[in-house]
Amino acid sequence: MIKIVKIGGNVLDDEAALKRFCRDFAALEGPKVLVHGGGALASRLQEKMGQKPLKIQGRRVTDADTLQVVTMVYAGWCNKQLVSLLQAEGCNAIGLSGCDGNVIKAAKRKPLEIEGKPVDFGFVGDVRPVSVNRPLLEALLAQGLVPVLSPINHDGAGKLLNTNADTVAACVAAALEAELWTCFEKDGVLADVNDPASVIPFITEADFLRLKASGIIADGMLPKLENAFRALRQGAQKAVILNAASLSKGIGTVMTL
């Protein structure tokens, strides 16, 4: 079974964690794909360049200048740094953004109504499992290559679009009928947010809706879980949320429908 592993900014922003992650990822057996986010570097670079990072409800508004920065940071620095570190660990990684071989197409997000006003997020794209080029990914995997996907995708008409890396990972897992491994900085979904040892080993979608209603699962965990359950409904065979530092053990919270 193919594993789709997603890592976020907390790993990319920490050199020691990144090296450790690359060693563990390289050692994972079987066909695999890595999907990465961006991390804090994009915001730091925007500030250095005199741009003002703007987020509305946690989502980055991406004008033309911001698109250039996130493309440079995600598709350039983060992607190539990851690939070169993986190559050094003997993992034959190949870094791709959505335009490369048309591996993922995105649709520009239409303005959303927020608090009664239309908000245009700019060069932001949405992806779906059907936008994933499964034959290309399978051909690369069959050659022993390990795709490393940045969240910069394209519309097929010459425009790059900034997309959400969690959604990209979920869509790729669904399209390839694969396992979705979402890494973050905790050991799994916690029954008590103040007790790092209170990891819930298994959650069904019914459990999730109950825990969400009671407020036990809240804030930043909600989109991660919603994303995982959507991937399962759309074709992913397994979904697990785990600590990036526990990748080699593969233990976290397993979600099932």
- CA nearest to 161, candidates 125, 132, 197, 134: 125
> Does residue number 34 form part of the binding site for its own copies (CB under 8 A)?
no
> Does residue number 73 form part of the binding site for its own copies (CB under 8 A)?
yes
Which residue, 73 or 200, has its beta carbon nearer to its own copies?
A: 73
Question: In what order do the strands lie in the sheet containing 3-7?
Answer: 93-96, 146-149, 32-36, 3-7, 179-184, 238-243, 252-256, 202-204
> Does residue number 21 form part of the binding site for its own copies (CB under 8 A)?
no
Smallest gap from residue 52 Cβ to its own copies (A)? 15
Work out which of 12, 26, 152, 239 binds its own copies, going by CB under 8 A: 152
Q: ∠90-153-80 over CA atoms, to 5°?
A: 30
> Does residue number 124 form part of the binding site for its own copies (CB under 8 A)?
no
Which residue, 33 or 241, has its beta carbon nearer to its own copies?
A: 33
Work out which of 154, 163, 167, 188 binds its own copies, going by CB under 8 A: 154
Smallest gap from residue 68 Cβ to its own copies (A)? 6
> Does residue number 205 form part of the binding site for its own copies (CB under 8 A)?
no
- Tell me how far apart the alpha carbons of residues 188 and 239 are, in angstroms, rounded to a whole number: 12
Work out which of 94, 112, 119, 251 binds its own copies, going by CB under 8 A: 94
- CA nearest to 175, candidates 145, 126, 132: 132
- Tell me how far apart the alpha carbons of residues 46 and 69 are, in angstroms, rounded to a whole number: 7
Structure tokens at 176: 């390839």
Work out which of 20, 59, 80, 134 binds its own copies, going by CB under 8 A: 80
Q: Please give the helix or strand (H or E) that residue 48 lies within, else none.
A: helix 41-48
Question: Which one-letter amino acid corresponds to residue 112?
Answer: L
Please compute Rg for the chain using Cα positions: 18
> Does residue number 139 form part of the binding site for its own copies (CB under 8 A)?
yes
- Tell me how far apart the alpha carbons of residues 105 and 197 are, in angstroms, rounded to a whole number: 40
> Does residue number 96 form part of the binding site for its own copies (CB under 8 A)?
yes
Contacts to its own copies by CB under 8 A:
45, 48-50, 68, 71-77, 79-81, 83-85, 87-88, 92-97, 99-102, 136, 139, 143, 145, 152, 154, 156-160
